[in-house]
Amino acid sequence: MSLTDTAPRPRTTPPTRAPSAAAPPTGLPPALGGARGLVDGGLPPLLFVAVNAVAGGQTTRPTALAAAIGAAAATGLGIVALRLVREEPLRQALGGLAGLTVAVLFAATSGEARGFFLPGILVDAAYGAVFAGSALIGYPLVGTLYGWLYRHRDWRDDPRLRRLFLLATFGWSAVFAVRAGVQAFLYREDLPGLLAVGKLLLGWPLTLAAVALTLAAVRRASRSGGATTPAP
């Protein structure tokens, strides 16, 4: 036996993948309410329009509006009470109740059913402008929100994710702009029934679809960003 046979051999390690700036997310963030959020935010406006339409054919316009406001407010409070009894999260219900309060004030002040939807239109327009502005100055809000919700603050270290979040932020700005634009047109035409349908369809369903598309793009970018490199 020679000395070379007993000499220790250098230890080798298998190649490893370079860490990506952020691990791919596995699902929707808990901040989104899903179907529960759709009910909490969508049911009061639908009842508002339904009661206003039915009562409007049988009584005066102010009386119909007051009945619609009462129905929407009672529904919002009932949803909060139901969540409390069932010990379910209150975030979506309380957020919906706060938005409902503002909408009711707008409707009562204007004396028109369409005034109920004006706050939402203004908020969507503001969101669209803020998202677009954050992308233009190089601090895309989608990336900031992603880092906060999924605790991946190092996404800026990955060029692919930086570029993705920039484009995604412009995309979200377009989503808010479309939502505000469609509802603004229906508001101008004084079509509260279609406003309620538009608010429902362009609300949580569109938001959840946009979130799913964003997360799918993040997963793709994160996986393609991991090149195989030898360990030092």
5-37 burial by CB neighbour count: b if 16+ within 10 A, else e?
eeeeeeeeeeeeeeebbbebbeeeeeeebeebb
Which regions in the chain score pLDDT beneath 50? 1, 3-4, 15-22, 227-232
pLDDT of residue 141: 94
pTM of the model: 0.74
